[in-house]
Amino acid sequence: MAFNIEAFLKDTNSDLNLDSISRIVSEYVPYAKVHFDEGCPPFIDKHIKVTVSETDFGEAGDWTADVLLESGELVNQCAKEALLADGSNRIDIKEIGMVQARVRVYFRSDDEQKYTNTMIDLMSFLESIPNAAVYDSNQNKFVE
């Protein structure tokens, strides 16, 4: 099953941009191809695609994840909805109510669990972002 995890950025003055995110993601998943891709609806035109080739594991095909940097009022609204869905009383999470940006990772389906380590590495990347609250929208919970 495909899913996504997002990091709501509490610091709107963050130095994060697609170039810096690409460099950081490359450090977290050095075995993967990290490159820019065009046209990922509905929010942005350009995003980062992380590709792990199954040929590295002796099989044909690729598995991918998409890393998006989003901003604007829709992100702020999503952060407020996440707070309501989570029901958390953590003060640091309540501070995200006025966020204007997020980094979101869309994970493709991995029913055979071949790419669990890559998913963990990308989660570690999200958790490493300073002043970010990481949210699992599939579980409607903030990651602690």
User: In which residue are the tokens 């099989």 written?
Assistant: 59
Is 87 contained in some domain? yes
Question: Which CATH number do you get for residue 133?
Answer: 3.30.310
For residue 58, the model assigns a pLDDT of 45
Q: Are strands 33-40 and 3-9 parallel, antiparallel or unpaired?
A: unpaired
Is 95 contained in some domain? yes
Q: Which domain holds residue 76?
A: 3-138
Is 60 contained in some domain? yes
Is 91 contained in some domain? yes
- Continuous H helices in 1-144: 18-28, 73-86, 91-94, 116-128
**Residue-wise pLDDT tens digits, 73-119:** 888 888 888 888 888 766 566 666 667 788 999 998 988 888 899 99
Q: What are phi and psi of 131, to 5 degrees?
A: 55, 35
57: amino acid identity, one letter: F
Is 68 contained in some domain? yes
Is 23 contained in some domain? yes
What contacts 12, CB < 8 A, 6 or more positions away? 99, 100, 101
Is 143 contained in some domain? no
For residue 73, the model assigns a pLDDT of 82
**Residue-wise pLDDT tens digits, 23-72:** 999 999 998 888 887 765 554 556 778 888 765 554 556 888 888 888 88
For residue 36, the model assigns a pLDDT of 81
The number of domains in the chain is 1
Is 144 contained in some domain? no
Measuring CA to CA, which residue among 102, 73, 97 is closest to residue 84? 97
